Structure 1
């Protein structure tokens, strides 16, 4: 018999709570600190960070520095230990915007007889700039690798295909017939995953063809995070080991198929049914292009709550929230300041209150806690990509990340969707926290939004660190209230718009409960002797090895 989803959720919650509570107990001090979570303090922090004078907290601008100064001041008042670089709270990084010079870009398509045909940059091919090299010249054979997937134990477009030293052409997205969980589907559809898989197979380039409508146009720019020495680039969607990354229109892909004597329509149909149909084209391509760079300095902020267990205090549970927003932009209804009150002043305020809650306990958690405010999330998860790949503590000692990004605190918090938790033992910690607060745990009600790869926890997942991001579920305070529809409506009206400001809709009792929930999740991880683990056989367990 199939249990109704609500009953199943409660059953799982109670099961996982029992498994978790065998190892931890919520002490009187912790419970007292939890009860002291202050919605007024949360509101005060949001109000400052979303004030017009911060001009939307764009990295590199004075408003972002004002946000840094405010958070550092709060770290000091709370009593967090500096955990950044050189004994301070900051971690310096470079945000590099790379732009391709299409006027000097030359792309030549060569057939097996040596005949050459030009591809017009910006029309027949769209090349992304290189993040580290100002000029690139490469010539290589082309191969077709279906969707560019390599899913251990399930499916691979690379079986029997030699791509070493070659440029791979792949289709964007994933075949629906694989029926991947929404988190995995989002991961494998992400261009960064296709790039990294191609690199792991020895390719030197990747060209993606999107068959579906509605794909945003290529801009000829990318933005990456770099170390101050500018030797390594970090981002969700690029890999500097590839010499060429770009897009091809459908029409050019069809031309390649005609030259190969393969049937385009049949091949696309076959890969849509997860029938590997990879092969080597008869064409090669020669590409020359130049990139120009604009660099700005920016900072992540890192504060620490020291652990008290002699063995576990050298391990870290990380709380993340992005401090940046998008600055000043197009005027909408007379306003051009994109304040980002919900996105993500509310997340930063939540972390500050979580830190206060830990300090109010008057006793140390067993593991240490890092409170990390990251930069460049709106540019592509850049600050978190840099911190997760280049942390200020030993990476192997980071056991989990609990991310807070735009919780959308506009309704009472009655149910949650912990994005990513189902892949690891963090699901037990979520169940423990939800049980304590009487919150229902649900699956992602909006899997089509691919939110799992769109916020900073994903940077930790890519480094093999279990991570999650708690979003609202579907349970409303009155019968017939469609939380999903109302949230989408609110987002369409306010997301990345000047109207996302303090005067917009906020449910501060929900904000208080959200802080309590995320505190309890990290508290559970911090107090549990065993460190979090990926589920046995889970893809992200394989990725982390």
Structure 2
């Protein structure tokens, strides 16, 4: 098999996360440079264009919504003084109506986790009309050790903040405010602040489509002031939300909101390259490798640095994608199926680029055998284990197990099942289209280091560098682990590309019906 080079991976990361690319913002100069760089590398590697009109690019039309610092959120209790919240320090939020301003004064209601899941006999909106109201809720979902109840400790899509806003809009709420806690979100307020206190991208609304006038978050401390209006604490509200039989609770307050928003139309793009397969028939099918190129661009300076470099997230994944494309193109005997190398846009805003690809694939979804995603690799060197989130849900799992055996790797379980990582990266968009999909992630059992070092380093990175300007490349990085994870994915991809049968999902999986529909077309 063609060799994977850590030196080339290092060089790509160094360039993609440099100040020159200004954090690879979507709809910004740095993002355009990143896509030109990736497309140019594809061309140099002999990877053919697989985008639109003979190019490497698939256009994705989005709307940029930038909340203004003058955004106001005031709680008005029935029997107490107004409670003004401070922008960024107490709350963040955005007007999703794609208008330049939304102002309203509306009653508030606490809806627990904001979930309607009939398959689990759970409805936080039971017998309640929230039209024209602001729903207050927590992210995540009711905890359980029962794998048949919200899949136990592993978060489902019902726990994602994106679902919360989608369900609130379906219910006709005018606004939705999530009370942030680190346990329910799995990250600190600084991540929310850096991600939401800037322009975000959204899919363009269709004529007449309803959207929330305000989708926001408040800190735990701000949530305490809201909870106190009914004599509760945030912990007590969360306990209520976690309890079966929960019913919505009207809050004795109104929210007054002013959400001035700077709106612009954004034309961004996915970058797609193709290496043709060797089989006359199977070359019309493909294995996909993906990694998102975008990060947060320029933002609020931290220690004087306004560039959110995104070296780990996801300069590493892009670099590995380019090295995988080089290795596949250099194979002396090409696999039977083709390979698509896809670097997608706007992952940070909610998987928008991969979602567009899933809805508009260059070949039918039923002809895509597998999607392997690379997102955020740490520079800690090699490990004894590897995490392959979601692979056990597919018929490809025996191939994954054999590849791990050949690399002398243990397949480790999801280290953060409660964080819902399967629903937070681009493979989820492929899965929604029915395509068997998963991400490869680094293990935490690091070679040559004491037990627990990987967990300690990850916690430190999450606390100090995730979605911060400090996510920078350094020349002392150990990229040997990235080399191995790229080789591991290459082996899985070539095995699937040569398999006579198309993979699918395991019986009973939530994505199996979509796969069956795609195969029937």
Q: TM-score, normalised by structure 1?
A: 0.74
1:121-200 aligned at under 5 Å gives the runs: 128-134=94-100, 144-158=110-124, 160-161=126-127, 163=129, 165=131, 167=133, 168-177=135-144, 180-181=150-151, 184-185=154-155, 187-199=157-169
Task: Give the secondary structure class of the aligned counterpart of 1:173.
Answer: coil
State the match for 2:425 in structure 1.
455
Provide the residue aligned with 1:319 in structure 2.
Answer: 289
Post-superposition Cα deviations, 1:99-127, rounded to whole Å, max 9, x if no partner, equal 4568697999899xxx9x98868689976
Tell me the secondary structure at the aligned position of residue 54 of structure 2: coil
> Which whole-Å CA distance do the structure 1 matches of 2:355 and 2:501 have between them?
26
- Structure 1 pair 442–137 and aligned structure 2 pair: CA distance change class (3 A): same
Match of 1:501 in 2: 473
Aligned to 1:293, the other structure's residue is in SS state strand
Where does 1:314-353 land on structure 2 (aligned, <5 Å)?
A: 314-327=284-297, 339-353=309-323
Is 517-526 or 310-319 further displaced after alignment? 310-319
1:277 equivalent in structure 2: 247
Q: 99-108 vs 302-311, which deviates more?
A: 99-108
CA–CA separation in structure 1 for the residues paired with 2:433 and 2:439? 16
* Structure 2 partner of 1:57: 24
Q: Which residue matches 2:56?
A: 89
Match of 1:223 in 2: 200
Counterpart position of 2:185:
none
Moved more, 383-392 or 342-351: 383-392
1:416 corresponds to which of 370, 380, 386: 386
**When the two structures are superposed, what TM-score results if normalisation uses the length of structure 2?**
0.77
Change (3 A) 1:255 1:165: same
CA contact (8 A) 1:132 1:240 kept: no
Measured in 2, the distance between the counterparts of 1:144 and 1:332 equals 35
Equivalent residue number for residue 79 of structure 1: 46
- Deviation track 1:318-344 (CA, whole Å, cap 9, x = no partner) reads 211122344466777887665544333
Q: Give, in whole Å, the separation in 2 of the partners of 1:199 and 1:543.
A: 24
Checking the alignment, whether the CA contact within 8 Å between 1:336 and 1:498 is kept in structure 2 is no
CA contact (8 A) 1:149 1:155 kept: no
Alignment of 1:331-410 (within 5 A): 339-410=309-380
Cα RMSD between the aligned structures?
Answer: 4.4
Match of 1:10 in 2: none
Q: 2-side partners of 1:269 and 1:483: how far apart?
A: 33
The number of residue pairs the alignment matches comes to: 496
Instruction: Summarize the Cα distance change of 1:480–1:145 in structure 2 as closer, same or farther, 3 Å threshold.
Output: same
The aligned residue for residue 272 of structure 2 is 302
CA distance in 2, matches of 1:358, 1:118: 62
Counterpart for residue 4 of structure 1: none
Secondary structure in 1 matching 2:370: strand
Listed as ranges, the matches of 1:220-299 within 5 Å are 223-226=200-203, 230-231=204-205, 241-246=211-216, 250=223, 254=227, 269-278=239-248, 291-299=261-269
Instruction: Give the superposition deviation at 1:347.
Output: 1.8
Contact 1:460 1:466 in 2 (8 A): yes
8 Å CA contact 2:17–2:310 kept in 1: the answer is: yes
